[in-house]
Structure 1
């Protein structure tokens, strides 16, 4: 895993386009508009939040991740966070190339992101997904996340869609 570079944009756009098609095949409305697109990726890169999973010198996966308050997670409904505050890492737009689908790389990618931010001091991690995205829910839960409630994603102007929000807390040995 490494931070995405400008030369990765075409591969990332292709990954997101195939992910959109895969979600559509599943009958989900997630990512069926303009979002996410090349502008989204460029914004992620400008904010140093873009990460890629590399396999044999190919971009195999993409995710946006950052530490600090995430406006998406400030209005949690139907639940509560295990730990309140703004000191957490958020994982978004996790997508794997269809060339690598079925190789169980998404859980490893999420583990790599958690490990990276853990090394930076993060102990609280948040992620969300569409209520119908069963494969991603399985990946999230298998990475130790617990469902905490519902948030609303603004994918397009005037289009707000519910997402299940998850949280993972990792305690330091000295805190346990």
Structure 2
């Protein structure tokens, strides 16, 4: 990417822009003909919750333009705890957890193929290490071939399929593939 990027926590005033980036991601996923993110989730309320928890991070250009976003959670992920997956790190059902989890990640359409997501993931790894986590977990839809390829290139191990708990939306295709990367 020709522009220097920084990753920082999103502010409450940036929630709408983060949602616009996630909407770009929704349109990208729709091209695969899968249901992931096509029925309301993620929505502005989930972005606002991530921001309030300090979990929403953005990639910003030197000019201040937000070109990517992800949620980096350091708390217990209930879907992962109940998944039955043989994770690479311990899978506790309560705090503390040895992993960080990436959710709701997307690149602005205008910044695609410019290294934004790789930058965000590398920055998230640094944050997770500093927080004492020994791995990062993520999941994606089996049909999201672009994300699956990206995760493999980033050094994530594909582990197993599992079903998400419902998110309160109309999505019925809730099978996901779990990935984890040791830090």
In structure 2, list runs of 5 or more residues that go unmatched: 1-6, 92-96
Q: Distance in 1 between matches of 2:104 and 2:20?
A: 13
Q: Distance in 2 between matches of 1:113 and 1:14?
A: 21
Query: Does residue 63 of the first structure (1) align with residue 75 of the second (2)?
Result: no
Counterpart residue number, 1:173? none
Q: Distance in 2 between matches of 1:125 and 1:25?
A: 27
Q: Distance in 1 between matches of 2:52 and 2:16?
A: 16
**How many correspondences in the alignment?**
169
TM-score (norm 2): 0.86
Q: Distance in 2 between matches of 1:11 and 1:28?
A: 24
Query: Does residue 119 of the first structure (1) align with residue 130 of the second (2)?
Result: yes
SS of match in other structure, 2:179: strand
Q: Distance in 1 between matches of 2:117 and 2:48?
A: 22
Of the three residues 19, 26, 50, the one matched with 1:13 is 19
Q: Distance in 1 between matches of 2:136 and 2:158?
A: 12
After TM superposition, the structure 1 = structure 2 runs for residues 22-61 of structure 1, keeping only pairs within 5 Å, are 22-56=28-62, 57-61=64-68
Report deviation, 1:21: 1.4
Report deviation, 1:157: 4.4
TM-score (norm 1): 0.89
Counterpart residue number, 1:72? 79
Query: Does residue 163 of the first structure (1) align with residue 170 of the second (2)?
Result: no
Query: Does residue 90 of the first structure (1) align with residue 101 of the second (2)?
Result: yes
Report deviation, 1:14: 0.8
After TM superposition, the structure 1 = structure 2 runs for residues 93-112 of structure 1, keeping only pairs within 5 Å, are 93-112=104-123
SS of match in other structure, 1:148: strand
